[in-house]
Amino acid sequence: MQGIVRIVHAARTDVGMKRDNNEDNLLVYPEQHLFCVFDGMGGHAAGEVASGIAVREIKEFFELTGKDPDATWPFKDDRARTYDENRLVTAIKLANARIMEASEQDTTKKNMGTTCVTLLFGERNGEVRVLVAHAGDSRGYLLRDNKLKRITVDHSLVEEYLRMGKISEEEAKNFPQKNIILRALGQQRQVDVEINAHDPRPGDLFMLCSDGLSGMVEDKFMESILLKQSGNLEACAKKLLDTANANGGVDNSTVILVRYEGA
């Protein structure tokens, strides 16, 4: 797999207009074709500790398994999944376990956690596949044929109510418990990681972001920015976060853009 995939990427994070510190974190690891966004939560800056642990653990696990594919894994693999799927889910589960350990050892970090959304270029039967795994409300999107489509489902109360038809799209915008997340790292011993595979086409642009961006900029405006600026991913990432800040910037915001150019 190494060296086969041609990708271009850009990443950016911003503290926003209302917060004193940035609890978001990101991991850009092109050597392993891995990209991740984390949105930490918990008082006393514990959110940035949790998201920082997630970055370190996932990176170290990919370093270890990249050098030694036979290295011992901390969790049993799922036989229904490919090697790449198991590798990504195991890395996230390991990060969850480490965050739990850290919060148990330090009472000031109790209940700290982080959402995560991750993207990995893997393969199946010699074909390139894009794996997107997540827990929480940090999102994955795909821009293809000039259309932006969300490819993750938020693990949040508001999304659950929408899915069940309890509230409308309009009501969801002002839903009082908008911040209630149903899954995240560091909240329970077993984290349920959702993972989906996509068959990429040359020109596909994948976007990972925290809710500091998706909550401040509607999808249609993100689409328009991506279409206008997609020739320059660095400028595009800057424009997305500048727009989130211009719209109020009530939260930290983070974005990673990854364009697949072929194999």
- Domains of the chain, start order: 6-262 (3.60.40.10)
Would you state the pLDDT for residue 12?
Answer: 98
57-85 mean pLDDT: 92
pLDDT band at residue 33, thresholds of 50, 70 and 90? very high
Give the pLDDT band of residue 43 (cuts 50, 70, 90): confident
Residue 194, burial from CB neighbour count under 10 angstroms (0-12, 13-18, 19+): middle
- The model's confidence at residue 1, banded by pLDDT at 50, 70 and 90, is low
Angle between helices 83-105 and 46-67 (to 10 degrees): 140
Is 60 exceeded by the pLDDT of residue 2?
no
Task: Name the helix (H) or strand (E) containing 234.
Answer: helix 233-246
Does residue 126 carry a pLDDT above 60? Answer: yes
Residue 77: its pLDDT value, please? 87
Cα-based distances in Å from 164 to 137, 159, 168, 173, 212: 17, 9, 10, 16, 25
Q: Is residue 255 pLDDT above 80, yes or no?
A: yes
Per the CB < 8 A criterion, the answer to whether 224 and 209 are in contact is no
Model confidence over 172-208: pLDDT tens digits?
Answer: 888 887 778 999 999 999 999 999 999 999 999 999 9
The pLDDT value given to residue 58: 98
| CB distance 137 to 117 below 8 Å | no
pLDDT band at 222 (very low <50, low <70, confident <90, very high): very high
Chain centre to alpha carbon of residue 204: 17
Residue in 76, 66, 208 with CA at minimum distance from that of residue 132: 208
Which tokens go with 142? 């795909």
Confidence of residue 62 (pLDDT cuts 50, 70, 90): very high
Q: How far apart are CA 200 and CA 222, in angstroms?
A: 20
pTM score: 0.95
The reported pLDDT for the residue numbered 4 is: 76
β strands within the chain, DSSP E: 6-14, 24-29, 34-41, 113-124, 127-135, 139-144, 147-150, 194-198, 205-209, 253-262
Residue 162 — pLDDT band, cuts 50, 70, 90? confident
| pLDDT at residue 243 tops 80 | yes
- The CB density around residue 125, as the number of other CB atoms within 10 Å, is 6
